[in-house]
Amino acid sequence: MPVTITSSNALYTDLSGYYDLMCADIDYQAQSTYVRRLHQLFGNEGKRHLDLACGTGPHIRHLVDNGYQSQGLDLNQPMLDQAKLRCPEASFIQQDMCGFTVESKLDLITCFLYSIHYSGDIEKLKGCIASAHSALRDGGMFCFNVVEKNMIDNRSFVRHSAQHDGEDFVFASGWHYPGDGERQSLKLSIEKHNGDETLRWIDEHPMVAVSFEQMRQLLSPYFDVYMFDHDYEKIIPLNNTSGNAFFACVKRGSTELAGQGLAA
């Protein structure tokens, strides 16, 4: 019988050492290259970059290797400790992305792997958008991916197995949306098999639920918003048949915002 441990965020604290194993199938290079291409097309020429909810820093590694001066921000210090080992050249701050500040203005802010949903609810999501807006220079870009709440299939789980130090792991993750309201969750499980012993951790992470249109409306007072298909190989406008999208948001100039009666 497996021993099951239920927790709210073991993956980013006690189990942070297994995070990279869980994400072994993710093509971080393709994601980072895609954002660099978007930044070349829509952004300014600057290279000051911040990755929100940076985790163990895989995107930061790729962006630093391509000439960006990157910083990482995350709520959980165990994740930041690993990011620092991966990217000693970058600086890291432990803050909540729903109300963060930076010392000097940035050209590019990213938030990958749907982590913007960790904002938890709409009020906090507004805080995240406002913080990103004030941390950017005019013309700077905020890029992230979003899952559309009305297209979540509660039965769909992504599974993958891996071996590490003689132990077998099975990872699974899936979204759950109750059908209305502004909250969804990310369900994650990690099973570790070692001989006869099986340990299973089950995490349930509270996330904010939004539609693409709601997200666009929250951003549009402050940013020019571009929505793309979730395909890291091609930059194509969102066709709305997929439940995932990539948002690229370009900060409007201070004069334009003042004209709309909004503070810069």
Ligand X SMILES: C[S@@+](CC[C@H](N)C(=O)[O-])C[C@H]1O[C@@H](n2cnc3c(N)ncnc32)[C@H](O)[C@@H]1O
Distance of alpha carbon 17 from its chain centroid, rounded?
19
Other CB atoms within 10 Å distance of the CB of residue 103: 8
- Integer Cα distance of 194 and 5 in angstroms: 16
Site for ligand X contains 96 (CB under 6 A): yes
Q: Which residue lies nearer to ligand X by CB, 21 or 252?
A: 21
Site for ligand X in 117-146 (CB under 6 A): 118
**Strand 197-208 and strand 3-7: pairing?**
parallel
What are the phi and psi torsion angles at 221 (to 5°)? -65, -25
Residue 10 binding ligand X, by CB under 6 A? no
Cα angle 148, 149, 151; round to 5? 70
C-beta of 136 vs 188, nearer to ligand X: 188
Which residue has the CB atom at the shortest distance from ligand X?
55
Q: Binding to ligand X by residue 98, rule CB under 6 A?
A: yes
Taking the least distance from each CB to ligand X, the nearer of 81 and 138 is 81
What is the per-residue binding string for ligand X in 19-58, x denoting contact by CB under 6 A? ----x-----------------------------xxx--x
Q: Please tell me whether residue 115 binds ligand X under the rule CB under 6 A.
A: yes
Within 58-142, residue ranges assigned H as helices are 58-65, 77-86, 122-135
Using CB under 6 A as the binding rule, whether residue 203 contacts ligand X is answered as no
The answer to whether 74 contacts ligand X (rule: CB under 6 A) is yes
Q: In terms of CB distance, is 184 or 252 closer to ligand X?
A: 184
CB of 187 to ligand X, least distance (A): 13
Amino acid identity of 184?
Q
CB 229 within 8 A of CB 239: yes
Tokens of residue 21, six digits: 């194993």
Interacting residues toward ligand X by CB under 6 A: 12, 23, 53-55, 58, 74-76, 79, 96-98, 112-113, 115, 118
